[in-house]
Chains A and B, each alone.
Chain A
Amino acid sequence: MDDQPLEARLARRDRSALEDAYTQYGPSLLVYLRRYVGANEAEDVLQRTFLDAWRNAHRYQQNQRLSSWLFTIAHHRAVDTLRARRHQVINVEAARDLVGEDGRETAERFAEAADVRAAVAQLPDHERRTLELTYFAGMTQAEVARAMDTPIGTVKARASRGTRRLATLMRAQLQEGDSA
């Protein structure tokens, strides 16, 4: 396993970096793409997004957030896909939300959300699972306790520790990004 940051490995066109980026950001990108191009085409557009990322990896600036860069590419590919719809009814609200300045802002909000998911994935397993069930599966702490077969007091402690650790981790990553 290469100890260099994902951004640095991608910039030097390390194939494993592309796979790591796919694992880390693919699920959030898929949510974004499903919203605009629909579930039927989202996976294809996701593949195009990562192909474009690979082809343009040499242009990636490491001081740019990787999530922002990937979501910008996905945004362009989603617009292309809507353009290609010849006989299908386009969701006007989705199209309006995707193009222009609003579209770029939406992509940036998704990029930030993806950064949070990526940071959650770096937490210790028990804290990660607790926060995933609580925030992303919508469970109450009592439901999390049952799902994890764990006393509720332990769930509360893990949620508390995980939430604080997440904030610390994200602050550190932001500072690293600022100094890159």
Chain B
Amino acid sequence: MSIDDTHPDLSALLLGNLPNVEALDAGVHLERCQACRGELAELAAGHAVLLRSSRLLTGPAQPEPNSEDLPPLDPPPRSRHRLVALVAAAAVAVVAGLALVTLVDNDSPAPPEGDPTTVVHTLTPLDEPGSPSEAQGTLSLHTIDDGVTQVQIRTDDLPATDPGEFYEAWLLDPATNKMLALGPIGALDHASYDLPQRLLDRYSVVDISLESDDGDPTHSLTSVLRGTYT
């Protein structure tokens, strides 16, 4: 089959849609037709990138999603500068800058005192052999805006880590054991993460684990603190 009576259908040739005889005839035609060779060269590059892309993005197990299949994009947190400016204005009027210091200093995880948008939970050791029974912590959820919640974690009396070890925070859904890494707890025993509330709603527990910096892509299996927030 061809687009017209003279030249072969080069798209069908590249797609493997031509019967053997027509494909072989197209090869003979290409040897003597410079115009078709030029057209084939133009088509080949586009065909190659399309084929490579489709091989990777589609498979027999799952159809390729399109943008309508995506969940809504969880809104990102507003600019920290803007947030700080808003809080600063309120703080000057109400508490003369005390809350401002708290929020401007990103290393200070203490939630705003008495803020109705902040909920505080406790982190406690797991009832397992080897758990640091003296350790404890707090988990503060502070609603920012646009469906974004600031998760602030503070730990107390966790044993100092050995070289090559670190503590890391995770979200956990105990019903499914589904976990999502938040990141390492810093040297000052606290950390802060801005998370979409929709994401937070899919889990119910914050877990603190002791990890070894050994390149092992699996969880260490050593959880030291946990706290339920829902």
A residues sitting closer than 8 Å to B (CB atoms) are: 13, 15, 18-19, 22-24, 26-28, 30-31, 34, 39-41, 43-48, 50-51, 54-55, 77, 79-88, 90, 95, 98-99, 109-110, 112-114, 116-117, 120, 131, 134-138, 140-141, 153, 156-157, 159-160, 162-167, 170
Contact = CB atoms under 8 A, between A and B. Distances in A.
Contacts of B199: 44, 47-48, 51
B116 interface: no
A163 B9 contact: no
Nearest to B177: A87
| Residue with the highest number of chain A CB atoms closer than 10 Å, among B178, B199, B221 | B178
Interface in B61-80: 62-67, 69-71, 73-74, 76-77, 79
Interface string B159-193: 00000000000100000111111000000000000
A13 B211 CA distance: 34
Nearest to B198: A47
Nearest to A142: B17
Interface string B191-230: 0001110110010000000010001111101000000000
Nearest to A162: B46
A86 B178 CA distance: 9
Interface residues of B, number: 56
A95 B65 contact: no
B11 A40 contact: no
B50 A163 contact: yes
Contacts of A163: 11, 43, 46-47, 50
Interface stretch (B19-27, B52-60, B123-131): B52-60
The 5 tightest CB contacts between A and B, nearest first, are A84-B179, A80-B181, A163-B46, A54-B76, A116-B53
27 contacts: A13-B79, A26-B67, A41-B180, A45-B180, A47-B74, A51-B76, A81-B179, A83-B181, A83-B216, A83-B219, A84-B180, A87-B177, A88-B177, A110-B56, A110-B57, A113-B56, A116-B50, A131-B50, A134-B15, A135-B51, A138-B58, A156-B12, A159-B11, A163-B43, A163-B50, A164-B43, A167-B42
B94 interface: no
A85 B218 contact: yes
A79 B49 CA distance: 28
B130 to A, nearest CB: 16
Main DSSP-derived SS at the B contact region: mixed
A114 to B, nearest CB: 8
Given A47-B198, A136-B58, 13 more contacts: A27-B66, A43-B71, A44-B199, A47-B196, A81-B181, A84-B180, A85-B219, A110-B57, A113-B56, A136-B57, A136-B64, A167-B49, A170-B46
B139 interface: no
A110 B58 CA distance: 11
Contacts of A95: 217
A47 B73 contact: yes
Contacts of A18: 73, 76
B181 A167 contact: no
Contact of A55 (B49, B63, B64, B194): B194
Contacts of A19: 73
Given A113-B57, A134-B15, A167-B45, A27 B76 contact: no
B93 interface: no
Contact of A31 (B11, B51, B57): B57
Nearest to B12: A141
Contacts of B79: 13
Nearest to B50: A135
